[in-house]
Amino acid sequence: MRDAATMLTESILPFWLGLKDPAGGFFGEADGAGRIRKDADRGAVLNARILWTFSAAYRVLGTESYADAARWALSYFLDHFLDKDAGGVYWCLDASGRPLDDKKQLYAQAFAIYGLSEAALSLGDSRARETAVSLFRLVEKHYRDALYGGYAEALAKDFSPLEDMSLSEKDINAPKTMNSHLHLMEAYAALFRIWPDPGLEAALRALIDIIGGRMTGEDGHLRLYFERDWTVLPGEISCGHDIETSWLLTEAAEIIGDASLTANIRPLSLRLGRAGNTDLRADGSLSGEWWTYAETVVGNLYLHIFHVEPGAMDNALRCWDYLSAHLVDREHGEWYWGLLPDGSPDTVSPKAGFWKCPYHNSRMCLELLTHGGVLLQPGL
């Protein structure tokens, strides 16, 4: 299967449409076989990514059922995930829609802006636009570090400091992280498409500078964790984030529309893309989880189009062929969480959950349809 439209419309999106809760929103988890856990908690990041996915799918494909799903996701997100008193987005709700974890993680604010901006663009929804702008102003007010630059990783419900700011069980407790800054840049770029405000542009440019100047090492790999003053903390290399960042930087510069900025970030984007590709094996496999495959395909597409990098399209095709053969669940739809050491699919980890979402692989398909054209059509 090298048809991005088929992958998206026959495997990925139908699976997520099946997670719609008739009472509102989307169920929070499905196991490796797709069996839904109706009592599972509901994370802000997953729900914002669902909102983004169906909104973007409607914009590119024009299918009304995707617009309906986007509006369904938007209504629930606005009604339940927003803190009506203090502002910002809750981290997690219980299955009935009540706040379960009311901390204000920067990562969640970023994905809320991202999903709401896409909903505003695709659906023309004014409430989504107003909320995205409001969240931008909230982030700039409460999270931005006026002394050292960048943004705080997490705050309490009332935006007071938190002792434990860690994003997940896999992350260390760091004042600032690459991951949150990367996706805040992505969110601000999405917002700029619908609201080209000068203050937003300045903040977006500053994030681009931080990623290039503070977060990228001399080896071309991103550093993941930082003290408030940007002292690097211990952390492993993440090739998936390297190659994801390589193309998101290009996208952000293109959205701003400054040719000199785009030219200036080209060497950085190329270095990050090459660093990310060091995890790509000859057979198209990777050592990471499902999302790293999606980002490697898109990253190499951008390396081919924007950098004319030799071998980049071959990399994208090999990775596509491998994930299509090994990661896609042909029976139940969607992708497995990842692959076991013997190459078999991980059927135990959830196919939908707090971190397993439709954003990476749907975005891959949409990027291929938007920029790839015939590059991944059947028979090529």
Paired tokens of 40? 């599972």
User: Is pLDDT at 93 greater than 50 in this prediction?
Assistant: yes
CA–CA dist 214, 22 (Å, integer): 46
Strand (E) or helix (H) holding 291: helix 290-307
Paired tokens of 155? 């705050």
CATH numeric code, 4-376: 1.50.10.10
- The pLDDT confidence band at residue 319, using thresholds 50, 70 and 90, is very high
Cα of 271 vs its chain's centroid, Å: 21
Q: What is the pLDDT of residues 127-155, one digit of tens each?
A: 999 999 999 999 999 999 999 999 999 99
User: Is pLDDT at 239 greater than 50 in this prediction?
Assistant: yes
What pLDDT score was predicted for residue 377?
A: 45
What pLDDT score was predicted for residue 373?
A: 55
CA–CA dist 217, 182 (Å, integer): 15
Q: Which residues contact 372 (CB under 8 A, 6 or more apart)?
A: 4, 301
Mean pLDDT of 193-210: 98
User: Is pLDDT at 355 greater than 90 in this prediction?
Assistant: yes
Mean pLDDT of 60-86: 98
- The pLDDT confidence band at residue 378, using thresholds 50, 70 and 90, is very low
DSSP 3-state of 363: helix
DSSP-H helix ranges across 145-258: 178-194, 198-210, 239-256
Q: Is the alpha carbon torsion for 32, 35, 37, 43 positive or negative?
A: positive
Q: What is the pLDDT of residues 37-61, one digit of tens each?
A: 999 999 999 999 999 999 999 999 9
Q: Which of 5-19, 77-91, 119-133, 360-374 has the lowest mean pLDDT?
A: 360-374
What pLDDT score was predicted for residue 216?
A: 97
Other beta carbons within 10 Å of 353: 18
Mean pLDDT of 318-324: 96
User: Is pLDDT at 375 greater than 70 in this prediction?
Assistant: no
Strand (E) or helix (H) holding 326: helix 312-326
Q: What is the pLDDT of residues 151-167, one digit of tens each?
A: 999 999 999 999 999 99
User: Is pLDDT at 376 greater than 70 in this prediction?
Assistant: no
Mean pLDDT of 319-323: 97
Paired tokens of 98? 């009540």
Paired tokens of 172? 């260390």
Among 378, 301, 379, 380, residue whose Cα is nearest residue 6: 378
90-94's contacts with Cβ under 8 Å and 24+ in sequence apart are 90/44, 91/43, 91/44, 92/41, 92/42, 92/43, 92/44, 92/354, 93/41, 93/42, 93/44, 94/41, 94/42
Count of all residues that appear for the chain in the document: 380
Mean pLDDT of 185-203: 98
CA–CA dist 73, 69 (Å, integer): 6
Q: What is the pLDDT of residues 269-315, one digit of tens each?
A: 999 999 999 999 999 999 999 999 999 999 999 999 999 999 999 99
User: Is pLDDT at 27 greater than 60 in this prediction?
Assistant: yes
What pLDDT score was predicted for residue 371?
A: 86
Other beta carbons within 10 Å of 19: 22
328: which DSSP letter?
B
Contact by Cβ (8 Å): 367, 301: yes
Q: Are strands 42-43 and 92-93 parallel, antiparallel or unpaired?
A: antiparallel
Among 294, 287, 296, 289, residue whose Cα is nearest residue 355: 289
Q: What percent of the chain has pLDDT over 90?
A: 96
Among 108, 130, 116, 105, residue whose Cα is nearest residue 54: 116
- Domains of the chain: which residue ranges? 4-376
For residues 371 and 100, the model is more confident at 100
What pLDDT score was predicted for residue 374?
A: 41
Contact by Cβ (8 Å): 252, 261: no
Strand (E) or helix (H) holding 171: none
